[in-house]
Structure 1
Amino acid sequence: MKRPQARWSIVFSLAFLLAGCATGGGMPYSGTHLSPTECRDLAALKSNAPPTMAQHQSELAALRKAGYNPSPWYDPYYPDDLQAAQRLVDYWFQTECQQRRPG
């Protein structure tokens, strides 16, 4: 294994997420993670429309909430840490933002 720490953090994160789902609670804790603005901007980004700077900032804010910390310096866990955060944000988007949409 090249980066055992990164792999273990991903495994732990996924196990934690699945443990919450197995108990019937969805996420292991309550509350929302994404704001209505982040939901709107993430939906716009998924539509493949030309992105705005504000939409990119919302996406980055959501990724930071999911534990991703972009660094201008060398990140030995890239791209694993980014992909783990993207999966978590996608999960939040599916569970939280889809419920808020009218219709």
Structure 2
Amino acid sequence: MTKSLKTGLPLPAAVLLLAGCIVGGMPYTGPHLSPAECRDLAALKTNAPPTMAQHQNELAALRKAGYDPSPWNDDPYYPDDLQAAQRLVDYWFQTECLPH
């Protein structure tokens, strides 16, 4: 039997939980999108032919939002995870990139 803390969590689970808090630190409060990502996301919203750099910046923004394009074709959460990341990137774009 493993030792537990007063919280009822087994000691190894409590250590992992605390380690996650230390490694994760404070939530990030700065801008999520770089100026290049803002510029390229704005360009992608037009009907102009996109460049490879614009696609790469769009993918970088989606990854920041938690989307992980799996190399496998059996992602059970696709397309829901992609759409959720797109909504988050759209929110970031509206709040961080557009002039107020």
TM-score, scaled to structure 1: 0.67
Shift of 1:29: 5.3
Q: Which runs of 5+ in 1 are unaligned?
A: 1-27
The alignment of Structure 1 onto Structure 2 pairs a total of residues equal to 73
**Counterpart residue type for residue 86 of structure 2:** Q
Are 1:31 and 2:30 counterparts? yes
Larger Rg belongs to: 2
**Counterpart residue type for residue 53 of structure 2:** A
Q: Distance in 1 between matches of 2:99 and 2:65?
A: 20
Secondary structure class of the residue paired with 2:94? helix
More RCO (CA 8 Å, sep 6+): 1
Counting aligned pairs with the same residue, the percent is 86
Q: Distance in 1 between matches of 2:29 and 2:47?
A: 31
Are 1:77 and 2:77 counterparts? yes
Give the 4+ runs in structure 1 shifted more than 3 A. none
Secondary structure class of the residue paired with 1:32? coil
Q: Which runs of 5+ in 2 are unaligned?
A: 1-26
Secondary structure class of the residue paired with 1:55? helix
Residue number in structure 2 paired with 1:93: 93
